Amino acid sequence: MSAPYPWLEPAWQRLVSASRQARLGHALLLAGRAGFGKRAFARAFAALLLCEADGAPPVACGHCRGCELFAAGNHPDFLHIAPLEEGKAVAVDQIRELGDYFALRPHYRTTKIALIEAADTMNRSAANALLKLLEEPPAGALIMLVADRPSALLPTVRSRCQQTPLDQADPAVLLDWLLAQEGAADAPRELEGLARAAGSPLQARALAAPQVAPLIDGLAPALAAVSTGRLAPLAAAAQFAALPLDILVDQMLRLCHEVLLLKTGAPLPLAALGREAPPGLQGLADALHSAQLSDFVQKAQEVKRLKLGSVTLREVDLAEWLWFDWQASAAGHPVDAAQR
Ligand SMILES: [Zn+2]
């Protein structure tokens, strides 16, 4: 095993052999959903390229000069750029640093690496600053972009990168890994966690945290209670106040999507591994019309956009809107049973 996580092994083998056959471009785009191990993958690959061990080790040796400098965060041929604050964008000044960095030749070997995390958050000036480098890459430069949403990158940036998609995985490998982790639950529960995390194992671990998982368990019943008037939106918002807004929106959207699948008779995600519909979902599928669900999906996506784009709106207010939106969507489009 050489990749940092077992599900990334095929991508690791492809990238390492491309590098050994000198088929690596000057820029790599490591793209895939959040919680899939992209950053660990990028760092492990950078470490391998900077390792000075003899031969062709499958992973960085961990004890040569290059590996020790890398582990200490002091390697002069590695620059790691990430948003200064969690959830914020990479700033244009951070991208401008790259110019100075690449102006110097590599210190030790022939490669000089920059890793840009959350590259999809760059604004247009940052992207344009990066584009200049991508158009005329210095000799020996390797720029690795990590992005959850590659479609948000400037097309001109995207087209200059070698694409390395990191979102394909055998669900059975993901489930095996989750079951081997400390504090793992049984297979049906881990499978449900994987579905909640849209197939991202690291995200599944985060959502399984003791303060988060019970709230997510209660979400489908709460949606049903609000839709039938048994629970007021404000009371629901208070009940789920401990859930970060991002998780709340994503989980509501995920449930809507699964209810829509149930309504059409389509299999739920990961059904091939034996996942069953969570309790309460069928009740929502029976009670709600597809148009009501689609209406809410649009409103919830609007809340996501508002959260990203605004510094003044408070998460607590947006969460309350979300529950009012749900109530309104569920109350709208009254239909009789025959139309459902
Ligand atoms: Zn080494």
Angle between helices 245-264 and 315-331 (to 10 degrees): 20
**Do the domain assignments include residue 173?**
no
Question: In terms of domains, do 332 and 271 share one?
Answer: yes
**Do the domain assignments include residue 224?**
yes
Question: In terms of domains, do 121 and 247 share one?
Answer: no
Return the half-sphere exposure (C-beta side, CA atoms, 13 A cut-off) of residue 198: 15
Last residue of a domain, one of 99, 130, 165: 165
State the distance from the centre of ligand 1 to the C-alpha of 60, rounded, in angstroms.
Answer: 5
Q: What is the DSSP string of 7-64?
A: GGHHHHHHHHHHHHTT---SEEEEE--TTSSHHHHHHHHHHHHH---SS--SS--SSS
Question: In terms of domains, do 219 and 282 share one?
Answer: yes
Give the dihedral sign, CA 247/248/249/254.
positive
State the distance from the centre of ligand 1 to the C-alpha of 59, rounded, in angstroms.
Answer: 8
Burial code (b: 16+ CB inside 10 Å, e: under 16) for 168-194 equals ebebebbbebbeeeeebeeeeebbbbb
Could you give the CA distance from residue 302 to residue 307 in angstroms, rounded to a whole number? 9
pLDDT at 333: 55
Q: Which two tokens stand for residue 296?
A: 């809410």
pLDDT at 336: 43
Could you give the CA distance from residue 258 to residue 256 in angstroms, rounded to a whole number? 5
State the distance from the centre of ligand 1 to the C-alpha of 51, rounded, in angstroms.
Answer: 4
Residue 146 sits in a domain of what CATH number?
3.40.50.300
Closest CA to 1 of 58, 40, 86: 58
- Domain extent, residue 146, equals 6-165
Last residue of a domain, one of 165, 199, 225: 165
Last residue of a domain, one of 165, 192, 219: 165
Closest CA to 160 of 68, 323, 29, 337: 29
CA angle 252, 35, 61 (to 5 degrees): 175
**Do the domain assignments include residue 236?**
yes
pTM value?
Answer: 0.85
State the distance from the centre of ligand 1 to the C-alpha of 68, rounded, in angstroms.
Answer: 7
pLDDT at 338: 41
What single letter denotes the amino acid at residue 278? P
Specify whether the CB–CB gap between 10 and 39 falls below 8 A: no
* 162 beta partners: 28
Question: In terms of domains, do 239 and 158 share one?
Answer: no
* Segments in the chain below pLDDT 50: 335-340
**Do the domain assignments include residue 190?**
no
**Do the domain assignments include residue 85?**
yes
Q: What is the DSSP letter of 112?
A: E
Q: Helix %, strand %, coil % for the chain, to 5? A: 55, 5, 35
**Do the domain assignments include residue 184?**
no
pLDDT at 280: 86
Which residue carries 């591994």 as its tokens? 273
Question: In terms of domains, do 215 and 160 share one?
Answer: no
Question: In terms of domains, do 214 and 325 share one?
Answer: yes
Question: In terms of domains, do 160 and 246 share one?
Answer: no
Q: Find the farthest-apart pair of alpha carbons in the chain and give their distance in angstroms, rounded.
A: 73
pLDDT at 115: 98
- Tally of domains within the chain: 2
**Do the domain assignments include residue 177?**
no
pLDDT at 335: 46
State the distance from the centre of ligand 1 to the C-alpha of 71, rounded, in angstroms.
Answer: 10
State the distance from the centre of ligand 1 to the C-alpha of 48, rounded, in angstroms.
Answer: 7
Question: In terms of domains, do 151 and 63 share one?
Answer: yes
Question: In terms of domains, do 143 and 279 share one?
Answer: no
Question: In terms of domains, do 19 and 158 share one?
Answer: yes
Phi, psi of 230 (to 5 degrees): -80, -15
State the distance from the centre of ligand 1 to the C-alpha of 9, rounded, in angstroms.
Answer: 20
Question: In terms of domains, do 217 and 160 share one?
Answer: no
State the distance from the centre of ligand 1 to the C-alpha of 274, rounded, in angstroms.
Answer: 43
pLDDT at 36: 95
Specify whether the CB–CB gap between 53 and 187 falls below 8 A: no
State the distance from the centre of ligand 1 to the C-alpha of 237, rounded, in angstroms.
Answer: 51
Tell me how crowded residue 235 is: count the other CB atoms within 10 A of its CB.
Answer: 14
State the distance from the centre of ligand 1 to the C-alpha of 169, rounded, in angstroms.
Answer: 28
**Do the domain assignments include residue 80?**
yes
State the distance from the centre of ligand 1 to the C-alpha of 123, rounded, in angstroms.
Answer: 36
Question: In terms of domains, do 104 and 220 share one?
Answer: no
Could you give the CA distance from residue 252 to residue 249 in angstroms, rounded to a whole number? 5
